[in-house]
Amino acid sequence: MEYKTAAMVDVQNSDLASQQAGATLPDPTTVELAATEPGGYRVIRRNGKVTAFDPEKITVAVTKAFLAVEGQNAAASSRIHENVATITESVVNAITRRMPSGGTIHIEDIQDQVELGLMRAEAHKVARSYVLYREERARERQQSIALETHTAGADTLSVTRKDGVKVPLDEQRLITVVREACADVVDTDPEGVLEEARRSMFDGIAEEDVSKALIMSARTFIEAEPNYTYVAARMLLDAHRQEALSFVHGHEARLTQAEMSAAYPAYFASYVKSAVDLELMDPKLASFDLERLGNALKPERDFQFTYLGLQTLYDRYFIQHNEVRFELPQAFFMRVAMGLAINESETETWAIKFYDLLSSFDFMSSTPTLFNSGTLRPQLSSCYLTTVPDDLDGIFGAMKDNALLSKFAGGLGNDWTPVRGMGPHIKGTNGKSQGVVPFLKVANDTAVGVNQGGKRKGAMCAYLETWHVDIEEFLDLRKNTGDDRRRTHDMNTANWVPDLFMKRVCEDQAWTLFSPDETPDLHDLFGQAFEQRYEEYEAQAARGEIKNFKTMRAVELWRKMLGMLYETGHPWVTFKDACNARSPQQHAGVVHSSNLCTEITLNTSAGGEIAVCNLGSVNLTQHITNGNLDIPKLEHTVSIAMRMLDNVIDYNYYSVPTARASNLRHRPVGLGLMGFQDALYKMKISYGSEEAVEFADVSMEAISYFQIKVYTELAQERGTCANFVGSLGTKGNL
């Protein structure tokens, strides 16, 4: 028996379906899904009409499918009822998973999901009947559609503009945009993208939904062919281009990428003027030679983005006014470059050099630099490191500093070791200390509240030395169980481990925990000096001269550290002695922590110095030519990148004065790399091979050498930084 389910029968055939199914079936073109999300879910029927989508109708249709094939006795079977519920749930889940925030789905897609649900439920007879009938009806419809298409001639869908006016869909522009998006992208089919997009369109569709349909249609192919990510990105770019051009020119503008190539310079000048007038950009940028800079833009580089990359830029990085993003990708890179060149004597020349480096993806500045360069608050530095003092004014002063630094997208690394542990007497109140954990909870909530200016989550990491008496509670901060008032679910944590602890672990010896109010100098000692003083404190504790301490097996604490690392990913394990022994600034202080991402180590002091890191990354993938590392190109990239990073220090907006003083005194920059695995892939080298290790050594040594060389040249041009004398560099130790 062949069953014609409600999800597959046309209106004119519903009576026939009822006869074959032995029951009256619902009209398939009214299958609806009740919208529970903003925007809702809608079904496009074969005649183009749009209705809401109701899962209850799927339940009815699937139930009657079983009745038609297995007979009326099936109604009494609990197994059948369970299958119906499972199939309905699978169909609804498939639709909501694909479009989590609502949207339109074609009736054929619903049928596909019902078919899959039947087969997964092992209802093979029902599924077979379902498939055969769909094929028969598809053949009949194909003949009918061909005739209707021939008869309709040039009839097209209409789209609804924002003002409510309906206009014909520009079918030719649609074809041009899709073919342009697929041009030079191997293994992509513009006709397939167009066909998929049309399935989601209907008469009267909102104009902005046409762009969404194109983007979604390209996205559906990414899983099968990753190159469609570039097609989807170009579809997104087309929608963004309309948004940006219409805003800066004050009227609707719909240009293709080919047309945009000639229009970019004029747009760029209007964009800068608009941003300055809206107080979103530094007025100094308007004094640049905008015509020269506009002509230096390379519109073809808009097509380099993957979908996720461009979507991230659109969501977080592009300048916007009232939720309208009017900054196109090449204008974005030029805005960043102009900010970094603002203090150069030849501003346009250097801005173009900086732009070329960024827009080619040879080098990429850090997120704060991309966010804020060229704006009224150019906070370009990546991370700030602080040491929290052991008094209430100092603790909450550090909280305020954290908030101000996080507001403008700075990542935070806090050294909490000086804060006394739980139990010691508080002289000012005649009470007992609650330890460091309650303050860490406040710091955690500060990062949540001041979420980098509303652009992304606040980012903070707390460091504590392994001898601190609160270390065991510190290990539990990221657990999902226990007293939530003593948990920090949104903040990273890291152990600051001295070598002596690891030595005690290896030798299975005892380890003593102290409160820093009784052992204050341990915080500033490392190496042999730390070991000697630590053992003296242990002797004092044994004599009863130190009251607040705890002794335990070092191995036991190490196991707890590793256990929490496996369970929660925190606290990270970082090494105090290794960082200080290699610090080039040993003459100027002690390294008490790393930063949020643990890639830098700089000196800090309680209430006196906030260390700053200024970061950027060389894209190693872009420096592989003919299967080898392109050393001359790498030198060119590093030479310009280092100048950009050095410019950050002087141009940077400092929300905390002590951070400015520290950054100008030490002038630290971090030039890292990205794309290492991709570079190995291009060179056909296995990641786990000896060749990969050798390539890592050669490539990083080259970057380091060129970095030192360029900084030497910058020192000759701009002078030596205040704290260079006495550093390891002056002793020839690089």
Q: How far is CA 604 from the centre of its chain?
A: 29
C-alpha distance from residue 330 to each of 237, 315, 362, 506 (Å): 12, 16, 15, 55
Q: Long-range contacts made by residues 342-350, C-beta under 8 angstroms, separation at least 24?
A: 342/282, 342/284, 342/285, 342/374, 342/651, 343/647, 343/650, 343/651, 344/647, 347/288, 348/288, 348/289, 348/292, 348/293, 350/643
Residue pointed to by tokens 């303050």: 439
> At how many degrees (to 10) do helices 55-70 and 124-152 cross?
120
Catalytic residue of the set 70, 259, 597, 691: 597
Q: Is position 599 annotated as part of the catalytic site?
A: yes
Catalytic residue of the set 599, 694, 701, 713: 599
How far apart CA 260 and CA 318 sit, in angstroms, is: 18
Tell me the helices (H) and strands (E) count for the chain, helix number first. Answer: 26, 25
Please, which residues bridge with residue 53 across strands? 33
**8 Å CB contact between 276 and 321:** no
Q: DSSP alpha helices (H): ranges in 489-543?
A: 499-506, 527-542
Residue pointed to by tokens 């996205």: 219
Report residue 182 as tokens: 């697929």
C-alpha distance from residue 521 to each of 455, 502, 543, 594 (Å): 40, 20, 19, 20
Residue 30 is inside which H or E element, if any? Answer: none
Q: What letter would DSSP give residue 301?
A: G
Strands (E), 11-170: 41-44, 50-52, 103-106, 158-160, 166-168
Q: Is position 279 annotated as part of the catalytic site?
A: no
- Three-state DSSP class for 205? strand
Number of Cβ atoms within 10 Å of the Cβ of 650 = 12
**8 Å CB contact between 191 and 266:** no
How far apart CA 147 and CA 137 sit, in angstroms, is: 16
**8 Å CB contact between 447 and 490:** yes
The four Cα atoms 557, 558, 562, 568 give a dihedral, to 10 degrees, of 30
Residue pointed to by tokens 């894209």: 619
Q: Which amino acid is at 254?
A: R
Collect all residues with Cβ–Cβ distance below 8 Å to 4 and sequence separation of at least 6.
13, 16, 17, 20, 21, 25, 133
C-alpha distance from residue 186 to each of 43, 189, 229, 307 (Å): 33, 9, 12, 16
Report residue 599 as tokens: 């890639």
Burial of 147 (0-12, 13-18, 19+ CB in 10 A): exposed
Report residue 101 as tokens: 């925030």
Report residue 668 as tokens: 């630290």
**8 Å CB contact between 7 and 63:** no
Catalytic residue of the set 595, 603, 619, 647: 595
How far apart CA 499 and CA 526 sit, in angstroms, is: 9
Q: DSSP alpha helices (H): ranges in 373-432?
A: 392-407
The catalytic residues are 595, 597, 599
